Structure 1
């Protein structure tokens, strides 16, 4: 199992599956898997393509009927293939009754984690001795594409997004027999109900103003309105694209990145100065922010070792203080891109299994599957991402 780069404890996994409910996304993957398996069974029985006339044909396809099927993880509805003669009978219901039920999720998890189809086949054989062809598993992967496409292209004009977080991460992709770096652009919004959503993603070339503009134009074309604040790091191309595409929106520079940029040009033995600097970005109102800034400047005044730090602070101070216009309970979420960084970590965790994507399409498939799952988790949480401050009596 170690060659699969997946650490699975099947006993624990099975127990967890039986004790919890699948979310709708994972259920849809399970349905797609079983429907595809039955389709492959019927193809094998018929021994001919649709409308094909040959000497080996045994039967003709005759539509489907719906059947509910109960798994330990919940009830699902399947489309069972039929043939004209009525002689075809799927083995799915019998087979999956005695199969380790964790197999279904393991195959799905393997696909989502980017394990090659050859390794998925070995995994299935190792778990239950069942033969699953490479083409069958490849088709399962392709069946995820319509769902991911629908997720990427869903309209955004049905909700208002007050705050938008954007960030990019890099992945390696094979292209024209070379390994090239591609940027994954991700946008997260906070809707009027104060829940987070993944509102878009794109896999494209190197991070630039043109690429960010293309990404934002796509979000606009899907109906995204102008947010109150856009939160991001200070990439020059990104900053220009935000100003060009979101006229009237404020730009909040991520205070975590900004603080690091300043500390990087300060002397290493400057703990007191660093603590004074950090207070600036913990301020909850403009008056305190200006006071802490004045205190820091007074502390390092006259020391040329801090000239670069003072220059950086002066250049980015106003952009880093835009979070002060929102309610105090919102500020900790608005002043950084931390919430989106955690989403990036989930993508990176799966991406590390693969290291190098075979093509852009496979990257879109994996990133899309992870982001769809994260999106569902965000909307399913009981607690809202933002909470309004209590009203004064």
Structure 2
């Protein structure tokens, strides 16, 4: 091990660089290199001075009677700052209870960690890298940026690391009751005129909490894309949900029925009402909408079917296309009426993540086109994950649990009856 302290080694490196510059030798980005060395040297000297003061003696000086502690070498560490990553050799102390690193180093790390978290949060909440650079310069009271745009971009890569950990985590501990699936589309610079689909699933668990489950890429929201998305969930241990709420995308519906045939599929009522009302004149929408809401809010599924029949009877001749849209996928549209009344408004739509998509779209206006899939994924994840942390719980009282138990028993009886009927139908 070298007997020369790191601060002296850095001073020698700085002298060599300066000598090369004086002799005319080309040194790439000399100013940047000298600033980095100067910063490292200053920090090293301060750390070594703190240890000397703490121990009451310099390097290789004998310990006097009654003195505690001893130097225990150095540990290589890194510190991020405006000039990038600085390599620092942090002196270690042994033989003094509760002390392992200099106080200055702990303070430096706290300041660095706070600054990096601030940068990540500013980026996730709507500021571009240029905005962050300017904002930090104003906070520092200097025209020179505290962090450059390139440094901000590097720091925000922590979001992609968070996403990768999120996308690989074990899901076997999630006791999913209700699952939801939807997609958002974003533009990429390398694919002019092409929008990248991001498939999103989230869930309501048996304790009432709402969680973001997974994000993945799916160019056109095809059956194959959604099926692979769901297979990934199952590979990581996700249990079969009781229900799955979707919009009317054919590929999504097909994938849900292929992956979880025993789950009840629920058609999103926000999309359903929008599809129906788009097929009538604008002046007729205020008339028809209360009828649709009455169907959606029916006390049970039988009453829901009766209301559909009455609405079709009343408006079928005048608005046949709208009535066909209402009857399309009808059982899935009414399936939420089998669930506990307290849960229906939470399960009948994909509105929860739709509102989060609105936040993401406001953020994406800062970046009209993402440069890469990586940049797109890390930002969408950052926005949706932070929104999910504010989601409110759903009530799961003893009453709702008993209703769910009866619902599950009824579903099991229905499936058993279907299995008994199927062989007879085949013989006939």
**TM-score of the two chains, using structure 2 as the length reference:** 0.65
SS in 2 for 1:321: helix
Choose which of 343, 354, 357 in structure 2 pairs with 1:330: 343
Instruction: State the partner residue of 1:226.
Output: 240
The Cα of 1:140 is off from its aligned counterpart by: 1.1
Residue 253 to residue 85, structure 1, CA distance change in 2 (3 Å): closer
Partners of 1:201 and 1:285 in 2: CA distance? 34
Partners of 2:371 and 2:127 in 1: CA distance? 11
Instruction: State the partner residue of 1:311.
Output: 324
Instruction: State the partner residue of 2:16.
Output: none
Contact 1:233 1:254 in 2 (8 A): yes
Q: How many residues align?
A: 318
Residue 45 in 1 paired to residue 52 in 2? no
Choose which of 150, 161, 167 in structure 2 pairs with 1:152: 167
Partners of 1:291 and 1:95 in 2: CA distance? 66
SS in 1 for 2:221: coil
Deviations 1:233-281 (A, max 9, x none): 0001111111111121111001121122112222434343442233111
Choose which of 155, 161, 165 in structure 1 pairs with 2:176: 161
Partners of 2:150 and 2:321 in 1: CA distance? 59
Instruction: State the partner residue of 1:352.
Output: 365
Partners of 1:192 and 1:41 in 2: CA distance? 53
Contact 1:115 1:354 in 2 (8 A): no
Partners of 1:245 and 1:43 in 2: CA distance? 60
Instruction: State the partner residue of 1:82.
Output: 89
Instruction: State the partner residue of 1:62.
Output: 75
SS in 2 for 1:131: coil
Choose which of 168, 174, 190 in structure 1 pairs with 2:204: 190
Contact 2:223 2:251 in 1 (8 A): yes
Instruction: Out of 161-170 and 287-296, give the one that drifted further.
Output: 287-296
Choose which of 235, 257, 274 in structure 2 pairs with 1:260: 274
Residue 388 in 1 paired to residue 397 in 2? yes
The Cα of 1:387 is off from its aligned counterpart by: 3.6
> Which 5+ residue runs of structure 1 have no aligned equivalent?
1-39, 48-59, 66-79
Residue 343 in 1 paired to residue 361 in 2? no
Choose which of 293, 303, 323 in structure 2 pairs with 1:288: 303
Partners of 1:43 and 1:388 in 2: CA distance? 63
Contact 1:189 1:198 in 2 (8 A): yes
Residue 373 in 1 paired to residue 382 in 2? no
Decide which structure has the larger Cα Rg and report it: 2
> RMSD across aligned C-alpha pairs, in angstroms?
3.6
The Cα of 1:292 is off from its aligned counterpart by: 1.5
The Cα of 1:106 is off from its aligned counterpart by: 4.9
SS in 1 for 2:181: strand
Partners of 2:109 and 2:92 in 1: CA distance? 23
SS in 1 for 2:217: strand
Contact 1:113 1:351 in 2 (8 A): no
The Cα of 1:93 is off from its aligned counterpart by: 3.8
Residue 160 to residue 91, structure 1, CA distance change in 2 (3 Å): closer
Deviations 1:213-244 (A, max 9, x none): 12111111111121111001000111111111
> Which 5+ residue runs of structure 2 have no aligned equivalent?
1-34, 43-72, 79-86, 94-101, 403-428
Deviations 1:29-51 (A, max 9, x none): xxxxxxxxxxx97895279xxxx
The Cα of 1:376 is off from its aligned counterpart by: 2.9
Instruction: State the partner residue of 1:138.
Output: 153
Partners of 1:314 and 1:362 in 2: CA distance? 41
Residue 291 to residue 105, structure 1, CA distance change in 2 (3 Å): same
Partners of 2:103 and 2:130 in 1: CA distance? 28
Instruction: State the partner residue of 2:137.
Output: 125
Contact 2:163 2:378 in 1 (8 A): yes
Residue 203 to residue 43, structure 1, CA distance change in 2 (3 Å): farther
Residue 272 to residue 85, structure 1, CA distance change in 2 (3 Å): closer
The Cα of 1:389 is off from its aligned counterpart by: 6.8
